[in-house]
């Protein structure tokens, strides 16, 4: 499975792969453009960014009507102008900050004492820097004076994710308990300072701010009933050692993350990443309100990493057993591999980071709306697209692929098209609908312009998916082609 390799030809942001320099994980996606509607200056109580001052790069706001509000419809000219303005901010003001932060972490990683940990940390920063660049797209839609704070949190958490992916897939260890200990770093990174975590061997199945278990009623009503796709999904239920439960004790010193790992002396590198994320989030005025939902999403992400790594023989049974335990009402609506894909994206976490930075007291309804749009629909589309274009390499390497269980290209295309349509519907129900709809369109545009689409004969599938996305997806696909040529992606 090819990794994201910075700006190398043929690369895309997405999850990391299970061989080479970059294993697969949840990813934030690069969005080449984000449309914003015309607005007025000032930060309203209920609204967010709707336009950008193209001279200063400062987002401007237009009030919106609560969690279910919609951005005003834009004509083609207004939409293009909004996209161009925000893209200018992203390229001119956001990416340089991300580059500086990554350089800082690269210098820190170069001082890791253990040679293997140093090698994996540096490899993840080199090969997967575009993951941080992609997650940073949300920073283009915040005021300039608060942008660096959001980027500190995004880059720190994504760097932890990428580093742990490398460790789990490159390790001599095949112990899920080791993977669980390592991924506790992500949960600690998003903890609210001074707040004790739930006691017991497993955390609560409901977030502290009321995030529903995936599949409970969400704003806008339940998703439409689906006929689950057919296809080989591996062996049926059988006895399989379960992954260890989520550790729910207090945050620990960084060295203990490596307690079960064969390599341990990172000189405080992982601990410093955790601290950087915590310190940034502590300054987000609305973070206590979103923290429970963020923790739930990070827990699901960690579960996926624990269950999909390790011995090949047992991973499929572990993933299916985990799905039966955790999917709740999504069972029967999503196949196990679709649920797993939805858990593998960090997009929802970064969307909530932005919400917590911009709003002192984000409403529970708005938090639920964001969580319900990104999980499972937008995040699931993100990771399924990533697996779609990497099928050939996964097949050659004998690696897990979450599109293969659909069984054939027609079923896969139908499954991803259903995700694309539902992701677009959910995005359009959100406040700042244009921003979140362009996240969906950007995913389709970026992944479906990757050279691997043509090399695997996936052009008919790509056309079907772009058609499901509509005019915005076609616009983003054209923009992605241009950006690929310009930056040699």
pLDDT at 99 over 50: yes
- The DSSP line for 207-268 is -TT-PPPTTS--TT-PPPP-PPP-S---S-----PPPPPPP-S----GGGGGTTSS----TT
For 176-187, the pLDDT digits (tens) are: 899 899 999 999
**Could you give the CA distance from residue 396 to residue 64 in angstroms, rounded to a whole number?**
50
DSSP state of 202: S
Return the pLDDT at 400. Answer: 84
Return the pLDDT at 4. Answer: 34
Please give the mean pLDDT across all residues of the chain: 76
Q: Are strands 58-62 and 48-53 parallel, antiparallel or unpaired?
A: antiparallel
For 336-388, the pLDDT digits (tens) are: 999 999 999 999 999 999 999 999 999 999 999 999 999 999 999 999 998 99
pTM of the full structure: 0.77
**Could you give the CA distance from residue 36 to residue 30 in angstroms, rounded to a whole number?**
17
The answer to whether residue 6 is domain-embedded is no
**In whole angstroms, how far apart are CA 9 and each of 2, 288, 389, 488?**
11, 41, 15, 6
Average pLDDT of 311-334? Answer: 90
Lowest mean pLDDT among 1-15, 307-321, 406-420: 1-15
The answer to whether residue 23 is domain-embedded is no
pLDDT at 169 over 70: yes
For 26-57, the pLDDT digits (tens) are: 444 333 333 333 233 333 333 343 433 433 34
The answer to whether residue 206 is domain-embedded is yes
Instruction: Judge whether 255 and 185 are in contact, CB under 8 Å.
Output: no
Smallest CA-to-CA distance from 162 within 310, 27, 345 is with 27
Range of the domain at 137: 48-487
Could you tell me the two tokens for 66? Answer: 């609560």
Neighbours of 32 (CB within 10 A): 26
Instruction: Judge whether 134 and 27 are in contact, CB under 8 Å.
Output: yes
Q: How many domains does the chain have?
A: 1
Percentage of the chain lying above the pLDDT 70 cut: 68
The answer to whether residue 18 is domain-embedded is no
**Could you give the CA distance from residue 480 to residue 27 in angstroms, rounded to a whole number?**
18
The answer to whether residue 389 is domain-embedded is yes
DSSP state of 195: P
Q: Provide the CB-side half-sphere exposure for 230 (13 A, CA).
A: 2
Q: Provide the CB-side half-sphere exposure for 53 (13 A, CA).
A: 13
Give the confidence band of 76 by pLDDT, cuts at 50, 70, 90.
very low
């Amino acid at each position: 499975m090819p990794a994201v390799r910075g700006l190398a030809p043929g690369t895309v942001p997405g999850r990391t792969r299970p061989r080479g320099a970059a294993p697969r994980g949840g990813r934030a996606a690069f969005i080449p453009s984000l449309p914003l509607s015309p607005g007025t200056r000032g930060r309203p109580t209920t609204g967010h960014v709707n336009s950008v001052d193209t001279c200063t790069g400062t987002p401007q706001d237009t009030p919106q009507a609560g969690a279910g509000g919609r951005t005003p419809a834009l004509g083609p000219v207004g939409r293009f102008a909004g996209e161009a303005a925000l893209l200018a901010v992203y390229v001119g003001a956001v990416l340089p900050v991300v580059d500086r932060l990554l350089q800082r972490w690269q210098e820190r990683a170069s001082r890791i004492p253990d040679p293997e940990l140093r090698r994996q940390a540096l490899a993840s920063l080199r090969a997967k820097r575009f993951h941080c660049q992609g997650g940073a797209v949300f920073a283009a839609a915040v005021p300039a004076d608060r942008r660096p704070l959001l980027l500190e949190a995004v880059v720190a958490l994504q760097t932890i994710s990428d580093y742990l992916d490398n460790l789990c897939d490159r390790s001599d260890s095949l112990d899920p308990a080791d993977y669980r200990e390592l991924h506790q770093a992500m949960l600690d990174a998003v903890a609210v300072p001074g707040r004790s975590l739930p006691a017991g061997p497993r955390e609560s199945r409901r977030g502290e701010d009321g995030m529903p278990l995936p599949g409970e009623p969400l704003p806008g009503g339940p998703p439409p009933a689906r006929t689950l796709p057919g296809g080989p999904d591996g062996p049926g239920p059988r006895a399989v050692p379960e992954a260890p439960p989520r550790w729910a004790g207090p945050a620990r010193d960084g060295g203990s993350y490596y307690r079960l790992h064969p390599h341990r002396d990172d000189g405080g590198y992982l601990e410093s990443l955790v601290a950087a994320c915590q310190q940034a989030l502590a300054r987000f005025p609305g973070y206590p309100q979103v923290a429970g939902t963020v923790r739930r999403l990070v827990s699901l992400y960690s579960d996926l990493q624990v269950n999909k790594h390790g011995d090949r023989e047992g991973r499929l049974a572990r993933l299916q057993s985990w799905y039966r335990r955790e999917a709740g009402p999504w069972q029967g609506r999503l196949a196990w591999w679709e649920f797993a894909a939805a858990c593998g994206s960090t997009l929802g976490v970064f969307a909530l980071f932005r919400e917590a930075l911009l709003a002192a007291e984000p409403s529970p309804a708005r938090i639920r709306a964001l969580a319900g749009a990104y999980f499972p629909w937008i995040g699931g589309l993100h990771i399924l697209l990533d697996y779609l274009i990497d099928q050939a390499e996964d097949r050659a390497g004998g690696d897990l692929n979450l599109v293969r269980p659909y069984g054939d290209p027609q079923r896969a295309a139908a499954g991803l098209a259903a995700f694309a349509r539902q992701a677009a519907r959910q995005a359009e129900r959100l406040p700042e609908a244009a921003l979140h709809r362009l996240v969906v369109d950007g995913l389709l545009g970026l992944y479906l312009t990757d050279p691997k689409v043509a090399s695997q004969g996936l052009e008919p599938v790509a056309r079907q998916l772009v058609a499901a996305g509509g005019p915005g997806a076609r616009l983003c696909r054209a923009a992605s082609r241009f950006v690929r040529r310009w930056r040699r992606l």
